[in-house]
Amino acid sequence: MSEFLGYEREDGSIGIRNNVAIISTAPYANDTVKRAADIIENAVPITHPLGRCQTKPDVFQTYRTLLGYGTHPNVYGTVVVAHAGEIVDGDELAEDVAETGRPSESVNIHRQKGVMNGLKATVNAAKDIVQDASNQNRVSADMSKLTFGINCATSDTTSGLCQHKATAGAVWRLIDEHGGRGCFAETPEFFGGENELADRAINDEVRQEILDRVENWNQRLQATGYDVRGAQPTPDNMDGGLTTIEEKSLGALVKSGDGPIQDIIDYGAKIPDASGMYIMDTPGHGAESVTGIGASGAHFMVISTGQGHTLSNALMPTIKITGNPHSAERVPEQTDVDVSEALVGDKTFDWATDQLWDEITDVINGKLTMSEAMGESQFAIHRIGPST
Amino acid sequence: MPDRYVEVVEPEDNVATALRELESGETITVAVGDGERTVEIPEDVQFGHKIAIEDIAAGETITKYGKSIGNATEDIPAGTWVHIHNVESNYGRGDLAGDTETAAVSE
């Protein structure tokens, strides 16, 4: 076991950042959230187009995801902003956040009698929480508390040959040597490798669940009546030499290593406490899969990219690694770790893993990632069914 | 000496990945498991793209990582660039799903 410096939470989790989240429950509260976050130092706005006129599966998924952000280990406290009465209820969300011991306030624009009063209430609530958060110091914490998220982004043929090997090496180092957790996702990117992946499940139930969820995605895509090529693989994947979704998948799975899979969990669900590797069932759409993994409570994410990508997240720092020497040169501000010397130079994949691990230990102790320094983040909740 | 910049992942693979730009007219030797194979390159191939390392007939499986990544849509002679123009996928093929009603959408 090793230690790092993090922020203790009352619910027993440890944060690697001390953010204050301002969360919108519906599109009609987004502007208030963004304006408040512009005014308040270090407040993170969470806005989205969902939360109203959704069917129940989407309501549950949206709520679960927003609660995951409101109670994320990297979050000190939360302000929830609702427009009016919504099926994703702002008061309920704020109460559920408060149950984890975090400062939590609920603002309702209708109840405040308008946008200006709603903005004032949001700003007042957020400024108090931000000031309190600034008074908290990092303390020594055990690395077994950490969850390591993994995602691909603009994969190319170098991904499976190089950078994913370093990513797999680092995530299994956290699991095997430090007792932490890992989580990868993007179920349609298991196509072609699903049997070998399912064989890594810790029991038959999890094995069958993996196969069922992969088949469910294949059926959903077939039901469109179109060839999925163009969406999977994407045009930038194809520019990078990836020809089919199977080729993309077989490369993508390299980043998960070859160790046992504990479970496959729903989109946006919390990752269990037990050490090991988990899968979250998400689309391959990066903004949606990363948002889902963020809601799970993953502390940081390694984005293993081929051609380079701006993909990042508001609350979960993202460390971008590439093994493509042209990408590292072409998009330097989208590359935290360049391990291309392991692909086209004389370095080993163990060296590549060490490079990534060193960056991870810096980031969990407070070093800003490239996308944090650049002020970049996306938030996109995966939707299941129609709006109503 | 096999070219270290043209990588075959598994010995059963019938394609190799170019980790440098390949030029038309080159003769390349690739390491395949413990052995090696030599092919002529008939057209330029970009970094990261694939070439066939043996003759592949239309309909045959394209193998990489030791597994199927799709099927050849035409005969692919050894050395030839292998990509979306001559390979199709076996997943997410709504266009081939017979009993599926295509949604009414504008293209």
pLDDT tens digits along A86-135? 899 999 999 999 999 999 999 999 999 999 999 999 999 999 999 999 99
B77/A contact by beta carbon, under 8 A? no
Residue A332 CB contacts under 8 Å (≥ 6 apart), including other chains: none
Report DSSP state, residue B93. Answer: B
B62/A contact by beta carbon, under 8 A? yes
- For residue A227, the model assigns a pLDDT of 87
Contact A344 B5 (CB under 8 A): yes
Residues in A whose CB is inside 8 Å of some CB of B read: 156-158, 160-161, 188, 191-193, 218, 221-229, 232, 238, 240-241, 243-247, 250-251, 306, 324, 326, 343-344
Residue B101 lies in a domain: no
Chain A contacts of B12, Cβ < 8 Å?
A: none
Exposure string over A329-353, b if 16+ CB within 10 A, otherwise e:
eebeebbbbbbbbbbbeeeebeebb
B37/A contact by beta carbon, under 8 A? no
pTM above 0.90, yes or no: yes
pLDDT tens digits along A62-90? 999 999 999 999 999 999 999 998 899 99
Residue type present at position A239: D
Are the C-beta atoms of residues A214 and B21 closer than 8 Å to each other? no
What ipTM describes this predicted complex?
A: 0.94
Residue B65 lies in a domain: yes
3-state SS, residue A313: strand
Residue A205 confidence class, pLDDT cut points 50, 70, 90? very high
Helix, strand, coil share (%) of chain A residues, nearest 5: 45, 20, 35
- State how far the Cα of A183 lies from the Cα of A74, in Å rounded to an integer: 17
Average pLDDT value over all residues in chain A: 96
If one counts every other C-beta atom within 10 angstroms of the C-beta of residue B68, the result is 17
The DSSP string of A132-146 is HHHT---EEEEGGG-
Residue B106 lies in a domain: no
The CA angle B107-A216-A208, to the nearest 5 degrees, is 160
The enclosing H or E element of A157 equals helix A157-158
Are the C-beta atoms of residues A223 and A216 closer than 8 Å to each other? no
- Give the mean model confidence (pLDDT) for residues A140-158: 97
Report DSSP state, residue A368. Answer: P
Domain holding B18, by residue range, is: 6-96
The enclosing H or E element of A222 equals helix A204-222
Whose structure tokens read 């309920």?
A: A92
Residue B104 lies in a domain: no
Q: Pick from B32, B33, B39: which is nearest to B54 by CA?
A: B39
Are the C-beta atoms of residues A296 and A183 closer than 8 Å to each other? yes
pLDDT tens digits along B15-52? 999 999 999 999 999 999 999 999 999 999 999 999 99
Give the chain B residue nearest A196 (alpha carbons). Answer: B67
The enclosing H or E element of A354 equals helix A349-364
- For residue A195, the model assigns a pLDDT of 97
Give the chain A residue nearest B9 (alpha carbons). Answer: A161
Report DSSP state, residue A226. Answer: S
Tokens of B12: 């059963």
- State how far the Cα of A76 lies from the Cα of A16, in Å rounded to an integer: 11
- For residue A1, the model assigns a pLDDT of 57
If one counts every other C-beta atom within 10 angstroms of the C-beta of residue A48, the result is 21
Give the chain A residue nearest B89 (alpha carbons). Answer: A244
Phi and psi at residue A50, to the nearest 5°: -110, -170
Residue B22 lies in a domain: yes
pLDDT tens digits along A1-48? 589 999 999 999 999 999 999 999 999 999 999 999 999 998 999 999
Residue B101 confidence class, pLDDT cut points 50, 70, 90? low
Residue A284 CB contacts under 8 Å (≥ 6 apart), including other chains: A152, A186, A187, A188, A189, A232
Contact B48 A158 (CB under 8 A): yes
More confident residue, A329 or B84: B84
The CA angle A65-A26-A7, to the nearest 5 degrees, is 40
Domain count, chain B: 1
B9/A contact by beta carbon, under 8 A? yes
CA distance A279 to chain B (A): 21
CA distance A222 to chain B (A): 4
Contact A161 B101 (CB under 8 A): no
- State how far the Cα of A70 lies from the Cα of A94, in Å rounded to an integer: 8
Peptide bond into A233 cis (omega under 30): yes
Contact A221 B68 (CB under 8 A): no
Q: What is the CATH number of the domain that holds B59?
A: 2.30.130.110
B84/A contact by beta carbon, under 8 A? yes
- State how far the Cα of B83 lies from the Cα of B72, in Å rounded to an integer: 9
In angstroms and rounded to an integer, the radius of gyration of the C-alpha atoms of chain A is 20
β partners of residue A151: A303
β partners of residue A322: A305, A338
Q: Pick from A354, A352, A349, A343: which is nearest to A157 by CA?
A: A343
Chain B contacts of A324, Cβ < 8 Å?
A: 48
Residue B50 lies in a domain: yes
